[in-house]
Amino acid sequence: MGSFLNKTMVFILTSMLLLACIILIPDFLVKKFSKFNIDKGYKIVLFGHSHSECAFNDSLISGFKNLSHSAEPYFYTYQKVKKVISQNNQVETILIEFSNNQIDEKMDEWTWGYKYMSNMFPQYASFMDAADLELLFNKNPKDFINCVSILARQNIFRVVTLNYSFSGSIGGYLKVNNPKPLELNNKGLPIVRDTASGRTVLSITNLNYLRKIVDYCRQKNKKVFLVRSPQHIGYEYMKNEKVFMAIKKTYFQDVDFLDFNNFPLKDDEFADLGHLNFKGASKFSDYVNRMISSGILEPGKKQVLINTTLPKKMYFKPVVNNSN
C-alpha cells in the first residue's frame, strides 16, 4: 500500500511538473516573441466589439486601423491595447467603442463565461498580469482551468510553427453582406426581442477595464476617444440610454466621446439592430474618413467642425463632449 501511494504520488507530481513546463515554457516564449505590429501608416487605431467591427470599414478611412473583435469585452481589449501600443510607436490616437450593451452585465459572461473565455483567454493570457488571472480564476475557477489547457495547446502550436504573429487574429473590419432583410413587425417597426423588466444591471468589471484602457493610453501619451457606432433606433439595449449617459458623464467625463449613434442610415443598411452591413459600413466609413480629414480628432477643432462643415440639412449631429 505504501509503495503504491508513493509511486502514485511521484507519478502525479512528475505529471504536474511536466504540465507546468508545457504551460510555462511556451507561455514565456510567446510573451517574449509575440508580434502585434501593424502597418506604419496607421496612426489611428480602433478597438471594440462587433458593433465597431462591422461599422468601420478601414479600407475607406486613411491612416486608420480597425482592430475590433466580435464579443470582446474590455478585459481582453485591455491586454490587446497594451501590446499594440507598446509595439507600434506610430499610433497617435486610440478610439474605443463605447456603446449601450457594453455597460450591461452580459459583459461579465463575455469575460469569464466558458464559451467566450475559451475563445479569448488563450489569445491574451500570456500578456495578462497576476491580478487579471486572479480575477478570472475567482469568477470561474472550473472553466479557468479548462481554458489553461487550451492556452497551452495554442502556445505550443505557435512555438512549434514559429508563428508569433498575432496580427491576423486580433480583429479587423468584418464585412456583413446582410443575407436577409432586417426583421420588422407588421407595423414596420423593428422586432425587439428583449423582454427584460428594463432594469439595467451593470458590468462593473467591464467599466473598470475601460478605465484601465483609458489610463494606460494616457500614460503612453496617446489621444483617446470613446466612440459609439450607429445603432438602429429599435436596438434592444437603447433601453439603458439614460444609465449609459449617466455613466459616461460620471466616470468618463474626462474622455472625448464621438457619438455616431444617430447617424442617418436606412433599414437596408443594417445587418441587424446593432450592426451595419457592408452598404451601411461603406456609407458610414466614408463619412468618418471625411470627418477625420477635416480634423475631428484634433483638439479644439471639433466644435468648429460641427458648426461649420456639417451639411445644415443633415439631422444627425455627432455629439462631442469636449473636456479639453
Residues in touch with other proteins (CB under 8 A):
1, 3-4, 7-8, 11, 14-15, 18-19, 22, 114, 118, 142-143, 145-146, 149-150, 152-153, 156-157
Cell numbers describing residue 38: 501593424
> Strand, coil or helix: what is 46?
strand
Closest to other proteins by CB, 38 vs 150, is 150
**Nearest CA to 70 among 110, 98, 127?**
110
Locate 66 and state its grid cell.
480597425
The nearest distance, CB 9 to other proteins, in angstroms, is 10
Q: How far apart are CA 85 and CA 75, in angstroms?
A: 16
* Shortest spacing between CB 299 and other proteins, in angstroms: 45
CB 220 within 8 A of CB 176: no
Cα–Cα dist 84/44, whole Å = 12
- Of the pair 114, 251, the CB lying nearest other proteins is at 114
- By beta-carbon proximity to other proteins, the closer residue of 3 and 219 is 3
Q: How far is the CB of 167 from other proteins (least distance, A)?
A: 18
Q: Which is nearer to other proteins, 118 or 178 (CB)?
A: 118
Shortest Cβ 113–other proteins spacing (Å): 11
CA distance linking residue 240 with residue 222, whole number of Å: 30
Q: How far is the CB of 117 from other proteins (least distance, A)?
A: 10
Nearer to other proteins, 133 or 150 (CB): 150
The smaller minimum CB distance to other proteins, of residues 11 and 33, is found at: 11
- Around Cβ 237, how many Cβ atoms within 10 Å? 20
Nearer to other proteins, 1 or 130 (CB): 1
Q: Which of 56, 19, 10 is nearest to 258 (CA)?
A: 56
* Closest distance to other proteins from the beta carbon of 127 (Å): 21
3-state SS class at 215: helix
Query: Which pairs from 142-149 meet CB under 8 Å and 24+ separation?
Result: 143/112, 143/113, 143/114, 143/117, 143/118, 144/112, 144/117, 146/114, 146/118, 147/114, 147/117, 147/118, 147/121, 147/122, 148/23
Q: Report in angstroms how near the CB of residue 13 gets to other proteins at its nearest.
A: 12
